[in-house]
């Protein structure tokens, strides 16, 4: 319904409006999970996954039309520089959507301290296993707030390997399931939102928490979106039977260039997360 109110052409002109869509969808997801699914004895145990699943269902129409439109641009535009510029418009809209989802999830984490450990249980566990594997149980008890700066090569490689693994999942999810990779992206937004809430602890410090995790989160999720676009473009091209003749090489070349760009962004985001962010905000 909402995606019909805010059409694709308007989003390309004003990508920042997707921020409000993210806020709305994160709110819908949280309220449904907290006040509806929590009443079910079985589903109550999977609130964290349901939170992302509902967000996925909400965001799916936008993401599907984005990748469908981007595949069409591959056939309309021959200059690679101009094509990358066109892809950037969609990337901006997706980043604003991610930003809105993250801030929305972070807000609800903070204003519902009694519900947060249950509703964001899977997100808290994910955060702790990635950032505090050696003290996993202690991390869970304290909501995973990390104040240290374990800036060493092992930490860097661990983060980089994890991020590359996620990027590969996004790529193949988008390639084989079209817009299916949006689940990974919504899931990451919920994890970042929980991390913002755990670091901030109250609404007054929320801007600091947002800055703390989005300094490296924005380039990291940009890499995932680029990979999702690459896989999605090829997927739509296969469905439309455009992978033949000269069209095939144009589409594949564009997808490969997007993947290379995404990989380079991912390396940069890992360095920022390990060496820059802890020095700026502790």
pLDDT digits (tens), the chain, 282 positions: 555 666 666 776 788 888 999 999 999 999 999 888 777 777 777 888 889 889 888 888 887 777 777 666 655 655 555 666 777 878 888 889 999 999 999 999 999 877 787 888 888 887 777 666 566 667 666 654 344 444 444 556 767 777 888 888 888 877 776 656 678 788 889 999 998 988 888 889 899 888 888 888 888 888 888 888 888 778 777 777 766 767 777 778 878 888 999 899 988 888 887 777 767 655
pTM of the model: 0.79
Helix H, strand E, coil C: the string for the chain is CHHHHCCHHHHHHCHHHHHHHHHHHHHHHHHHHHHCHHHCCCHHHHHHHHHHHHHHHHHHHHHHHHHHHHHHHHHHCCCHHHHHHHHHHHHHHHHHHHHHHHHHHHHHHHHCCCCHHHHCHHHHHHHHHHHCHHHHHHHHHCCCCCCCCCCCHHHHHHHHHHHHHHHHHHHHHHHHHHHHHHHHHHHHHHHHHHHHHHHHCCHHHHHHHHHHHHHHHHHHHHHHHHHHHHHHHHHHHHHHCCCCHHHHHHHHHHHHHHHHHHHHHHHHHHHHHHHHHHHHCC
pLDDT score recorded for residue 176:
74
């Amino acid at each position: 319904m909402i995606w019909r109110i805010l059409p694709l052409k308007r989003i390309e002109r004003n990508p920042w409006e997707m921020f409000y869509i993210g806020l709305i969808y994160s709110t819908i997801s949280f309220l449904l999970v907290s006040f509806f699914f929590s009443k079910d004895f079985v589903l109550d145990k999977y609130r964290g996954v349901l939170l992302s699943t509902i967000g996925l269902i909400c965001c799916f129409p936008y993401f599907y039309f984005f990748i469908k439109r981007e595949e069409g641009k591959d056939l309309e535009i021959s200059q690679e520089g101009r094509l990358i510029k066109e892809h950037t418009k969609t990337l901006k809209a997706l980043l604003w959507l991610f930003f809105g989802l993250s801030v929305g999830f972070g807000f609800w984490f903070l204003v519902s301290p009694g519900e947060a450990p249950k509703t964001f249980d899977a997100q808290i566990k994910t955060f702790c296993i990635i950032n505090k594997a050696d003290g996993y149980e202690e991390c869970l008890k304290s909501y995973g707030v990390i104040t240290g700066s374990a800036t060493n090569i092992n930490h860097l490689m661990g983060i980089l390997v994890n991020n590359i693994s996620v990027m590969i999942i996004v790529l193949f999810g988008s390639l084989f399931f079209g817009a299916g990779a949006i689940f990974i992206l919504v899931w990451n937004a919920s994890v970042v939102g929980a991390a913002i809430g755990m670091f901030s602890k109250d609404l007054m410090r929320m801007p600091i928490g947002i800055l703390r995790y989005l300094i490296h989160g924005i380039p990291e999720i940009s890499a995932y979106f680029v990979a999702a676009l690459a896989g999605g473009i090829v997927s739509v091209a296969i469905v439309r039977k455009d992978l033949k003749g000269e069209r095939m090489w144009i589409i594949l070349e564009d997808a490969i260039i997007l993947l290379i760009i995404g990989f380079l962004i991912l390396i940069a985001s890992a360095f920022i997360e390990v060496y820059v962010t802890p020095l700026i905000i502790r």
